Structures are given as C-alpha cells and as structure tokens.
Amino acid sequence: MDPISIGLALGPLALYLLYMGKINLSPRPVLLNGTWDICALGAGLSGMIFIGPYNLLMPPAAMIRFGAFVWILLAVLYALCLILLSSKLHPRLVIYNMTEQQLRPVLTATMHRLGWDHRWAENVLTVSNHGIQLEMVFFSPLKNITLRRTSALQNRGTWRRLERVLQAELQLVRVEPNRPGKILFWGGLLILSGCCAWIIFDPSQVVYSIF
C-alpha cells in the first residue's frame, strides 16, 4: 500500500488517539454528549473505512460517472449514517477521567442545584417529576462513565439543562490524570509520526500514488 493511502487510513485514527489521550490526561473530568462521542469515534475510523471497504466495494461505474466527486458523496453518506446511529441510541452523557465514587456526589450536587427531587437505587438515579432515569455504566480500563437514559424523555430541554449544569459542576472537580491516557497519546503520536516520515522519506511513492 502506498504512503498516501496509509496516511489517509491511519491519520484520522492517530488524531482520535491524541484527542482521547489529551482528555484522559486532563486534571478535570471531561463531559461529552453521546452524539459528539459517536461522531468523534466515527471520524477516527473514517480513514480506514474509506481506504478499506469503501475503496474495495466502489462500483467502477460510479467512479467513471462522478469522478473524484464520488468521494464527497460517500463522505456525506458516512456522516448521515453516523447521525442516524446517534439518533437511534438512547441519549447519554459520557464523563471521562472519573470513577463512580467520584461522580455520585457530583450528580447529587447537580440535582440540588437544579432543585430536582431524586432518589438512588444502586447505580440508577431517578428524577420522577421530570421523567429522567439515568444508569451509570463504568468502564474501568479507561476510567470513564456513561450516563445512559433508560426512560422515555418528556422534555428535551430538560435533558439539555441537566447536561449544562452537570458540566458546570464538573468544572469544580479536580482529578488525577488517567494513566492509560499516556498510551493513547503516545500511540497516536507514534502513528502520526510514522505516516509523516513515510511520506517525507519516500517521495517517489507519493508522486506515483497521486499521478
């Protein structure tokens, strides 16, 4: 495989690993809503999908008819698939660099700040008067928590308000950087450096792959 294809396949993945490494090494928790989390992962995998399945299964007739414009159409199709996937999943919030024991008092403070009556049942938080039920799902290897909504939502504005106030509460918390973040960061940097080095030190292959 030529250097340009390798760079296009692994470049987005390297940037995603750098991004996730930076988040995990932050001294504060980082909150992402489910849509942004899916989109970030999709962007990271986009290069391998375009160079792999998309490239292999590309109909020759489409390339002849649309030329290079066909890749723009495929990118739009890929983006629409990510949006559709995120809309079909239950609304969720992902908090990076935090444990359940650290998040529970922050959630309780958020409920008090909002003035919402709530109750805990193990790892499930229920706010009955607003139709919100959240389940905490902890992923220990990367020390992140997914707050997954398990009930029908009465008002989307309520969900956005919860996200906004929780984000403000998390800004007041300081945590220890997550050590696996170093692996993600340096792994992404190594992949990106390798792709750049291959392109720089093998320009003949780059010219051949372009022309």
pLDDT on residue 82 = 86
CATH (one of 1.25.40.10, 3.40.50.300, 3.30.310.80, 3.30.470.10) for 91-176: 3.30.310.80
Rounded-to-10 torsion of CA 147, 151, 38, 87:
-160
Per residue of the chain (211 residues), what is the pLDDT tens digit? 667 778 788 889 999 999 999 998 988 899 988 888 888 888 888 888 878 776 666 667 666 677 777 778 888 888 888 888 877 777 888 999 888 888 888 988 888 888 888 888 888 888 877 778 888 888 887 888 888 887 665 567 778 888 889 898 888 888 888 888 899 999 999 999 988 887 777 666 655 555 4
pLDDT on residue 55 = 67
pLDDT on residue 51 = 80
Rounded (5°) CA angle 107-109-110: 60
Can you tell me the distance from the alpha carbon of 27 to that of 21, in angstroms, rounded to the nearest whole number? 12
pLDDT on residue 202 = 67
Residue showing tokens 């649309």: 66
CB-based contacts of 84, cutoff 8 Å, min separation 6? none
Q: What is the pTM of this model?
A: 0.81
**Domain limits, the chain:** 1-89+177-211, 91-176
Q: In what order do the strands lie in the sheet with 144-149?
A: 30-33, 92-96, 144-149, 132-139, 124-127, 119-121
Structure tokens at 120: 């805990």
20 touches 93 (CB < 8 A): no
Tens digit of pLDDT for each residue in 125-181? 888 777 788 888 888 878 888 888 876 655 677 788 888 898 988 888 888 888 888
DSSP string, 78-132: HHHHHHHHHHHSPPEEEEES--HHHHHHHHHHHHHHHT---EEETTEEEEGGGTE
178 touches 97 (CB < 8 A): yes
